[in-house]
Amino acid sequence: MALPRLFISTDMQMITGINNIDGDKDDVQSLVHALMYQDKFDIVGIASSVSRWQPGKNDASFIHHVIDKYGANQDELARHGSGFKTAAELHGITYQGTKTVAGASGIVAQTDASRAIVREAREAAAAGTDLYVTTWGGVGDVARALYDAPDIADNIRLLSVAGQVQEPNAHKYLKTNFAGKGDLWWIDEASTHFGVYALPDNRYPTGNSWAANNAKGHGALGDLFYQNTIDIRGTSGDLNLTKMGDSATILYLIDTASNNDDPTAESWGGEYRKAGNQYWVDRTDQGFNFAESGGARTVYEDRAAWQGDFAKRFDWLTSSSPAPVPTPGPAPGGGVVKTAGSGSDAVVLKISQDAWNGSAQYTVKVDGKQIGGVMTASASHAAGQDDVITIKGNWSAGNHKVTVTFLNDAWGGSAGADRNLHVDGVSYNGKALAEGTAFLNKNGAADFTFTDAGGAVPGGGAVKTVGSGSDALVLKISQDAWNGSAQYTIKVDGKQIGGTLTASASHASGQDDVITVRGDWNAGSHKVTVTFLNDAYGGMAGADRNLHVDGISYNGTDLARDTALLNRNGAADFAFTDTGNVAMADQLFA
């Protein structure tokens, strides 16, 4: 199932010229929080926007600084789940927003951020989903985006934190033109966020002891979080606080209760009162009051739960924290893609080496039968690169064994004069093996076991390959079946590959068919088109046949936009680029 798309707007700013390293420290805390939960949502934009407190002091450079720190820990996070973007990807979707507070009209000048919001909202609309926009400062860039493109209101879910205080005129424009009118979905929060940090008898934030115990010494991000609890207001005093009030918006999206569609329901990010059509505000009932703040108790009551969950994430950044599934990523420009054997099933190995006086050589066997000849590693383990080796076959249901044998160990008597082979990951039909790594520092073999579920992806879904060639588009497809299964076609640059395909995986169950489309595409931009052919609707929920595109990768790299809901006959287009270089990864680690 596709993750919610998220666009973050923060007023991260210089604090009176004193806080000149990290900017607005409580916003730094919240951004670290968001970056560490990218397996729960897809960050498609981060913008620097103004607030009334220090106009012109906000700058995207503060965001880039936090992302640089994140880059030191992105591998540790990625070992624990998919969705964690690289630092380079996050830098590429960081935008400068307005540095000027809106005047009486409520409208600021166009910015890169406002244009990005329009673009991302339309991308979401094309994919049949919504764009969550969280504002941690002023709402000027959002107001400008909706002024320029009022049609996007249907596809924006706005979660604003104290927007009426942060930028009153832009907030007034939004409230006058959109609040409660049925187009814009908006949680217009003013005081619920105090439940993130307030003490029972006042709004004063909690101290930094939690950060000292749970974040300090836990990787670059943990240290950054802790450092930004010290002298939080930049007064050169001892005001050391864990505040992160803007994280109420993040808690709303990551809550395990998954009540995102109903803001009145229980949520880590608070419960809200409906005040109009698709418009919610703080609960003002006495029972929901905390620290003299309406609605704040609805966040405070879950503080222990979400703080405990956040602490576990910081533990991921320590070397002692085990990773459930190793998923090292190849470095740009490194590694080769190779396929051996034939068949509808695929074992995919990620291989690297420590080269010395020549490259490591090895063989691959499945159930004792060698597939392919003697292979030579090329990717550098030290550089974080990987060769991606796909072993094709038709394996029967049951347990099987793949064996990697290192053939030509060499040792020169010192560190750096040593030839070794690394198996950095193994998957079968798209499912990573729990025990899929090995370090071979002498000639010998490493065995890995996998289970064939009878031609299906574990948990449901089929594996199918169409076309031929050295390049691979891999599509993850699911359906809402009713009175029969969804049927569809796939075209690349207008040319159909394969016949009419029939979906089998259940979207509601989190399953996916894995469809590999092979070809030899030239360097440059291309388009893949998925066309839904046989829509059906019985007039009520549960009686609806739909097709879902849940992900697409090209030669192992996920497309920037790779999801769509097709709830009527028609097509969804996705762009991909062939660089003309050797691909960095293959299909089944998408």
DSSP bridge partners of 472: 518
Give the pLDDT mean for 473-481: 92
Burial of 202 (C-beta count, 10 Å sphere; 0-12/13-18/19+): exposed
More confident residue, 336 or 102: 102
pLDDT (tens digit per residue) in 296-322: 999 998 888 899 999 999 999 985 444
Tally of CA atoms within 13 A in the half-sphere of 70 that contains its CB: 27
pLDDT at residue 56, as a whole number:
87
Coil/strand/helix, residue 464: strand
Burial class (CB in 10 A: 0-12, 13-18, 19+), 109: exposed
Between helix 140-148 and helix 168-177 the angle, nearest 10°, is 40
136-140, 169-173, 324-328: which has the minimum mean pLDDT?
324-328
pLDDT at 585: 25
For residue 265, what are the contacts with CB-CB under 8 A and spacing of at least 6? 257, 259, 271
How much is the pLDDT for 15?
A: 54
Q: How confident is the model at residue 482 (pLDDT cuts 50, 70, 90)?
A: confident
Q: Give the separation between CA 30 and CA 24, rounded to whole angstroms.
A: 10
Angle 165-168-171 from CA coordinates, rounded to 5°: 105
pTM of the model: 0.57
Predicted local confidence at residue 237, as pLDDT: 64
* Residues 6 or more apart in contact with residue 28 via CB below 8 angstroms: 12, 22, 62, 66, 224, 225, 228
Of residues 333 and 498, more confidence is placed in: 498
Q: Helix count (H) and strand count (E) of the chain?
A: 13, 34
- Segment (H or E) for 316: helix 303-316
Neighbouring residues of 412: CB distance < 8 A, sequence distance ≥ 6: 356, 357, 418
Percent of the chain with pLDDT over 90: 52
Measured CA to CA, the distance from residue 303 to residue 326 in angstroms comes to 31
Q: What pLDDT was estimated at residue 257? A: 55
Interatomic CA distance for residues 173 and 106, integer angstroms: 5
The conformation of residue 3, written as its DSSP 8-state character, comes to P
Q: What is the 3-state secondary structure (H, E, C) of 407-445?
A: CCCEECCCCCCEEEEEEEEEEECCEECCCCCEEECCCEE
- pLDDT score, position 387: 86
Q: How far apart are CA 516 and CA 525, in angstroms?
A: 19
Q: What is the dihedral of CA 500, 504, 507, 508, to 10 degrees?
A: 150
112-126 helix and 140-148 helix, angle to the nearest 10 degrees: 60
**553, two tokens:** 């990768």
**pLDDT over threshold 70, residue 128:** yes
201: which 2 tokens?
Answer: 């008898």
Chain segment 223-267, per-residue pLDDT in tens: 999 988 887 766 666 678 889 999 999 999 998 556 678 999 888
Residue 556, token pair as written in the block: 């192992």
- Assess whether pLDDT exceeds 80 at residue 383: yes
**Cβ neighbours for 298, distance < 8 A, ≥ 6 positions apart:** 192, 195, 266, 267, 270, 271, 283, 288
Nearest one of 180, 222, 385, 192 to 314, comparing CA atoms? 222
* Residue 547: predicted pLDDT: 93
Residue 461: band (very low, low, confident or very high) from pLDDT cuts 50, 70, 90: confident
* Cα angle: 337, vertex 342, 344; to 5 degrees: 100
Query: What count of Cα atoms within 13 Å lies in the side-chain half-sphere of residue 267?
Result: 24
Token couple for 342: 């034939």
N- to C-terminal Cα distance for the chain? 14
| Dihedral of the alpha carbons of 173, 175, 180, 181, in degrees to the nearest 10 | -10
Enumerate residues 6+ apart whose C-beta is below 8 A from 577.
524, 525, 526, 554
Q: How many CB atoms lie within 10 A of CB 437?
A: 17
Distance of CA 105 to the CA centre of its chain: 36
Mean pLDDT in residue range 443-455: 83
429 pLDDT band, cuts 50/70/90, is confident
Is the pLDDT at 327 greater than 80, yes or no? no
Predicted confidence band at 334 (pLDDT cuts at 50, 70, 90)? low
Q: What is the pLDDT of residue 323?
A: 43
Residue of 73 and 331 predicted with greater confidence: 73
pLDDT grade, residue 570 (50/70/90)? confident
- How large is the average pLDDT for residues 177-187? 95
Q: Is the pLDDT of residue 329 over 60?
A: no
What does the alpha-carbon distance between residue 459 and residue 526 come to, in Å, rounded to a whole number? 32
The predicted pLDDT at position 234 comes to 65
According to DSSP, residue 328 is labeled P
